[in-house]
Amino acid sequence: MRTPWGAAFVAAWTVTLAGPALGQEVTVTAFPILTPVYTEVYNDRIGNSRFFSGPNTDRVRISAFVLPSPDSDVFPVTSQTTGITYLSTNGVDTSVSITHDAAGPLALPRRLTFVGLSSGFGGGRDEYTTSFDRNAPQVAAVLQAWDQTPFSVTVDNPRAAGGVTSVSFAAPDFDPLAVPGFITDLRLTGGGLQPRLDWVIPAGGPAPTSMSIQVRRIDAESADRTRIEAATLLHHLSLPAATTSYTFDQPFSNAGLPGFPSGLQQGRRYEISVQMDVETEQGDVLGRSRTFFEFAPLDPDAPNVSVFLPSVGPDGKFKFDVAVKQGEHIAIDPVVAIGYDYALGTGDPFFRSVVLPDVGDGQYELWLKQGDSFAFKAALQAGSEYFFDGLGVDAFRVLGIEASAGLDPSDVTAFVTTLTFSGDGRFTGTMTALTAAVPEPQTYAMLLAGLLLLAGVARRQAAPHRPPGAG
């Protein structure tokens, strides 16, 4: 999201993101509805995500950045014209709605949801938004009408200063053809708080006019961890169109606000979006694709390897899109758990080998697919490469990560798995976290009984000889 100020407001109310200087007096007062209101109408391609509404859908998004808002009740606004810093008292009363002459889903005015920084919904400062699934029949039927005639936007605030309590205006034009592709081969290099991201821009689709990065801190999750329920947008940065890497070595864009960090923090988890944007010459967004991934900063002493990162969706699967070559090692890194299922996508080359990291006692169990279930195959040791039989396999399971290792999704320790493949192609498969007992109790119980029997024999053989009658 582009910074919602500058051209968004009249010169007399050009504001800064920074809060007041230390000791500076803040004027607390009711705000007028500040115009013009900065508005975006664009195609929003939502990738796999546990947080964004409508994951894996193409949407039409309408966003308005409005003062006053609940954010201006919390974060001070400084006028560059007067130098006075203000805090609103009526931002919570602002409402924003849209209508369109075409019926469809807008037969009645549709109210935009406040998703600003103080909302927990992960939006930009002072942002109100709504979106529609482009593929829904009632939306697809009116896309051309939305292209031909702009939306009407209305901002209401019954306690607005100056007597004007309602403002209506036309939103920017919508272009249904501005639908960029998704970046691929996303990887992270380096431990600590200044890692580097790299990605590949797809060859097809509209060429991006810019790239952008968004960083959200994960603040709350559902009990079953299928959804991120609250997040805070810490950083949004626009990058040149041809950019294919980003290093976390500069302060976050919201670092000047009270209570916001200046960069990544050890022990915190984040959802990060790498975005391809198609914009007008004036910088208005017409189309955006968002590729999401989640991560916690690796330990500063972590090996300086490039780790390919997955997107994480509400189905609990970690989904990859990575180019692979026969015999080449790649490292992949999901959110952590007690075990994982690994599976290929359609047409992917087979898994040829696997190397597991040194976590806990470094001892694991390899299970291979047999029909619709898994059966124990071999014991694996951390750091040792295991080669699958024949041409390889299309799925396997790893168990044996002890609960005592602390590898739950809030842990910052990465479970980096190294893979090779039997041919060239793309790895578009999944890695699914196992957080409960696996559904093969009979096989598992037999294996466990055998291990306990062997352990008992070993103990008896190792026990010292005792004379008769000894306790």
405-415 pLDDT, tens per residue?
555 433 333 46
Averaged pLDDT for residues 60-73:
97
H helical segments located in 402-466 = 441-462
Q: What is the pLDDT of residue 1?
A: 35
With cut-offs at 50, 70 and 90, classify the pLDDT of residue 45. Answer: very high
Q: What is the pLDDT of residue 465?
A: 35
- Cα–Cα distances (Å) from 381 to 183, 337, 342, 356, in that order, read 35, 18, 18, 7
With cut-offs at 50, 70 and 90, classify the pLDDT of residue 53. Answer: confident
Global pTM reads: 0.77
> How crowded is the C-beta side of 325, counted as CA atoms within 13 Å?
1
Predicted confidence (pLDDT) per residue in 418-466, tens digit? 999 999 999 999 888 776 444 443 433 433 444 344 344 344 444 443 3
Share above pLDDT 90 across residues of the chain, in percent, rounded to a whole number: 58
Q: What angle do CA 374, 377, 380 make, to 5 degrees?
A: 120
Instruction: Residue 396: name the closest of 428, 373, 363, 420 by CA.
Output: 373
In the block, residue with structure tokens 């009270």: 258
Predicted confidence (pLDDT) per residue in 379-389, tens digit? 999 999 999 99
Instruction: Report the DSSP beta bridge partners of residue 26.
Output: 85
With cut-offs at 50, 70 and 90, classify the pLDDT of residue 404. Answer: low
What DSSP assignment string belongs to 130-168?
Answer: EEEETTSHHHHTTHHHHHHSPPEEEEE-TT-TTS--EEE
For 99, list phi and psi in degrees, rounded to 5. Answer: -140, 165
Indicate the length of the chain as a whole number.
Answer: 471
Q: Taking a C-beta distance cutoff of 8 angstroms, is the pair 283, 40 a contact?
A: no
Residue 18 has pLDDT above 60, yes or no: no
Instruction: Report the DSSP beta bridge partners of residue 235.
Output: 215
Predicted confidence (pLDDT) per residue in 268-318, tens digit? 889 999 999 999 988 899 999 999 988 888 778 766 777 888 788 777 677
Q: Mean of the per-residue pLDDT values for the chain?
A: 83
Q: Using CA atoms, how far apart are residues 216 and 211, in angstroms rounded to an integer?
A: 17
With cut-offs at 50, 70 and 90, classify the pLDDT of residue 34. Answer: very high
- Cα–Cα distances (Å) from 96 to 3, 79, 128, 152, in that order, read 19, 24, 7, 11
Q: What is the pLDDT of residue 150?
A: 94
Averaged pLDDT for residues 243-248:
96
One-letter amino acid at 400 equals G
Structure tokens at 142: 């009116």
How do 26-29 and 85-88 pair as beta strands? parallel
Q: Taking a C-beta distance cutoff of 8 angstroms, is the pair 285, 42 a contact?
A: yes
